[in-house]
Amino acid sequence: MKILGFETTCDETGISLIEFKENKKLEFKILAHKLRTQVEVHSKYGGIVPILAAREHKKNLPILLDNLIKETKINLKDVDYFAFSYGPGLPPALVEGKEFVVRLAKRYDKKIIPVNHLLAHFYSILISKNKLNIWQKVRKIEFPAIGLLISGGHTILVHFESFEKFKKLGETLDDAIGESLDKAARILGLEYPGGPKLEKLAKKGKPLFNLPRPMVNQANFNFSFAGLKTAFWELVEEVRRLNKLEEAKADLANSYQKAAFETLIIKVKKALDRYSVKSIIVTGGVISNLTLRKMFLKFFKNKKIYFPLKELSTDNGINIAFASYFFIEKALEPEKLDINPITTI
């Protein structure tokens, strides 16, 4: 079985073709994957502009698909299903992806598997190798588990009995952690995308400044990073008035990152205290930060921790094509597709 997956939730255009061997062990291989980023397009604005993201998807999708077809020599008639990320995400970007996939499905008379973008991030941890044309088995996970999804748009804590049975424990009430890191970087004058630049700068500094760990003393599992951002802005302005900003930037970056990351760890610890689980799953774009990975491994050294491959932690077509296999029963005729950009899990 071959599935072609499309990712257009935000500012990454991704397409991937995956073949599945339908047996008890569930083996699969990645036949091709194409990805095009939009960093240069949005950098001048200091953040993602939804309508520009949609325009870039419209331009990139046919180019990437043509490149994939030439590389694999696949005839799209031989693809069993098309899959696409239906949400949550930027509405203009999601619509562009949907319309492209619908036209393709009608042309080749195929059903479409709509994939929840957030669940695709969790399923990505089942992939152990990101190499082409190599058969691999689905990674085994020890359940029950506490799952944490951390990205530019989402911070969500989940209790998993299995990937089929789960419940959301809490989520951010305002900024997502990735968004907050980008804003902290902007406060320090770093260019977009700020998160990776903040990480690089933080490695040169020390956590010398005291910042709050929001909501860690509350009994719930929700997050809030807007207040942390405000406290950081006030701190930076105070340092600026003392004419110490340039020499303190690395320490400020380190202090902010440490406060944000420790907030995540404290909340996960609270969940572990409440629920008896065998493992922890951490996924989403922010876990590509190696400092955070090391903090989780150090703090929860007595628990099995699953991370996605670093290159699969951010948005891509592989995650969509792979996760769609587990939702084949939800495949729809193109005319019956709908999207909901505020979908969650």
Residue 344 lies in a domain: no
CATH (domain of 118) = 3.30.420.40
- The pLDDT value given to residue 264: 98
Whether 105 has a pLDDT exceeding 80, the answer reads yes
Tally of residues, the chain: 345
Average pLDDT over residues 9-13: 95
Whether 22 has a pLDDT exceeding 80, the answer reads no
Whether 163 has a pLDDT exceeding 80, the answer reads yes
Residue 197 lies in a domain: yes
Cα distances from 257 to residues 26, 31, 209, in angstroms, run: 39, 37, 11
- The pLDDT value given to residue 339: 79
Do 91 and 156 fall into the same domain? no
Confidence of residue 202 (pLDDT cuts 50, 70, 90): very high
Whether 25 has a pLDDT exceeding 90, the answer reads no
Average pLDDT over residues 246-263: 98
Residue 139 lies in a domain: no
E strands, the chain, are 2-7, 12-21, 27-37, 81-87, 111-116, 136-137, 145-150, 155-160, 166-171, 279-283, 304-306
Do 102 and 218 fall into the same domain? no
Burial class (CB in 10 A: 0-12, 13-18, 19+), 295: middle
Phi-psi region of 144 (alpha: psi -120 to 50; beta: other; left: phi over 0): beta
Average pLDDT over residues 324-340: 92
Do 72 and 117 fall into the same domain? yes
Total number of domains in the chain: 2
Whether 23 has a pLDDT exceeding 90, the answer reads no
Pairing of strands 111-116, 136-137: unpaired
Residue 181 lies in a domain: yes
Residue 79 to residue 326: CA distance in whole angstroms: 17
Do 326 and 294 fall into the same domain? no
- Six token digits for residue 153: 């748009």
Average pLDDT over residues 319-333: 96
- The pLDDT value given to residue 341: 78
Do 206 and 322 fall into the same domain? no
Residue 113 lies in a domain: yes
Do 180 and 89 fall into the same domain? no
The residue among 45, 40, 49 whose CA lies nearest residue 10 is 49
Do 22 and 119 fall into the same domain? yes
Do 97 and 232 fall into the same domain? no
Residue 67 lies in a domain: yes
A 10 A CB-CB count for 128 gives 13
Average pLDDT score over the chain: 95
Ranking 41-55, 213-227, 236-250, 301-315 by mean pLDDT, the lowest is 41-55
Tell me which of 341 and 248 has the higher pLDDT.
Answer: 248
Confidence of residue 39 (pLDDT cuts 50, 70, 90): confident
A 10 A CB-CB count for 314 gives 24
- The pLDDT value given to residue 44: 85
Bridge partners, 271 (sequence order): none
Residue 14 lies in a domain: yes
Do 112 and 216 fall into the same domain? no
Confidence of residue 342 (pLDDT cuts 50, 70, 90): confident
- The pLDDT value given to residue 236: 98
Whether 92 has a pLDDT exceeding 80, the answer reads yes
Range of the domain at 122: 2-130+314-336
Do 296 and 195 fall into the same domain? yes
Q: What angle do CA 8, 12, 18 make, to 5 degrees?
A: 70
Do 245 and 322 fall into the same domain? no
Residue 281 to residue 62: CA distance in whole angstroms: 34
CB 87 within 8 A of CB 117: yes
- The pLDDT value given to residue 118: 96
Confidence of residue 340 (pLDDT cuts 50, 70, 90): confident
Average pLDDT over residues 226-238: 97
Helix, strand, coil % in the chain, rounded to nearest 5: 45, 20, 35
Residue 205 lies in a domain: yes
Do 89 and 162 fall into the same domain? no
